[in-house]
Structure formats: structure tokens, C-alpha cells
């Protein structure tokens, strides 16, 4: 039996000023802006950008092709997805099938939410445990599976 052990850690990450990272984490090929907080047991993959003053809590998974704006909050256990199985199953390395996710500024995502490849506008709250399957184009509070607008925000 052959086993290959790979180390998690921090590799090829562009950090802004005053960033706090609580180990252990797996961060690689990403950009984390000024005054961010990254909790323990977080994975942030390559080509991800985290905006200024954003907090990512423990056990979050942020896959490739995700951009998160400034002043955001990503709760415990939040999962981002870039492969929607458009061919009936996993893309299996065919990154051309992956999709982008864009999170605006001042967005809070509650614990254990799942975010599919969508765009979320500024000033949005996503409730804990919600599944975001469609673009969010109006500020407000969204919750459920699939997530729906439950309260408008001005």
C-alpha cells in the first residue's frame, strides 16, 4: 500500500496589512486584503480574493473563482461551490465547467450556508443553513433552501 502525505499550510498567499490567521489553515494562491481575520480549519483556494475588513470564521471552505468584497462576514462552516455538475457529474478537473462567485460589500453569510456560483449584491444577510442557488440582486435578508428574500433592507 502506498500513501502520499501532503502538508496543509500557507503557500503563495498575498496578505494585506494587519491580517490575523489562526492556524491550522490551508491557504494557497489567494489574496487576503487589509485587516482581515481568518479562523482555524479554513481552506481558501487559489484565485480567491478576500476584501478588506472581512472575517472568515472556522471550518469555512472557499473554493477557486470566488471573490468576496469588503466588510463581509463568512460564518462557521460556510461552503462555496464552483462545480454545478453541468454534465451530470463532477467536472473531474475540467475547470472550464467551473463557475465564478462574486460577493458584494457588507454581506454577512450565516453558519453552515452553502453558496453556489452566484452574484450577491451589497448589503445582504444570508441566514444560517441557507442554500443560495440564484443571484441576489436586492439588499435584504435571505434564508431557506433555496434562499428567498424574507426582509428588505434599505
Q: What is the pLDDT of residue 124?
A: 98
H helices of the chain, where?
none
pLDDT at 112: 98
| Mean pLDDT for the stretch of residues 29-54 | 98
- Residue 29: band (very low, low, confident or very high) from pLDDT cuts 50, 70, 90: very high
- Report, as an integer, the average pLDDT of 41-56: 98
Distance, in Å, from the CA atom of 10 to the CA atom of 116, rounded to the nearest integer, reads 25
Q: What is the pLDDT of residue 1?
A: 87
Options 2.160.10.10, 3.40.640.10, 3.40.50.300, 2.130.10.10; CATH for 10-152 is 2.160.10.10
Q: Answer yes or no: are the C-beta atoms of 45 and 81 closer than 8 Å.
A: no
What percent of the chain has pLDDT above 90?
Answer: 91
- Does residue 154 register a pLDDT over 90? no
Amino acid at each position: 500500500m502506498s500513501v502520499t502525505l501532503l502538508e496543509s499550510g500557507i503557500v503563495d498567499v498575498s496578505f494585506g496589512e494587519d491580517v490575523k490567521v489562526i492556524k491550522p489553515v490551508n491557504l494557497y494562491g489567494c489574496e487576503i486584503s487589509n485587516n482581515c481575520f481568518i479562523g482555524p480549519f479554513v481552506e481558501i483556494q487559489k484565485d480567491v480574493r478576500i476584501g478588506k475588513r472581512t472575517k472568515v470564521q472556522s471550518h469555512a471552505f472557499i473554493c477557486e473563482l470566488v471573490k468576496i468584497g469588503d466588510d463581509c462576514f463568512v460564518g462557521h462552516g460556510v461552503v462555496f461551490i464552483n462545480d454545478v455538475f453541468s454534465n451530470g457529474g463532477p467536472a473531474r478537473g475540467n475547470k472550464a465547467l467551473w463557475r465564478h462567485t462574486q460577493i458584494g460589500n457588507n454581506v454577512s453569510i450565516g453558519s453552515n450556508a452553502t453558496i453556489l456560483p452566484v452574484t450577491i449584491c451589497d448589503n445582504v444577510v444570508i441566514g444560517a443553513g441557507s442554500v443560495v442557488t440564484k443571484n441576489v440582486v436586492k439588499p435584504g435578508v435571505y434564508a431557506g433552501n433555496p434562499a428567498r428574500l424574507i426582509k428588505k433592507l434599505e
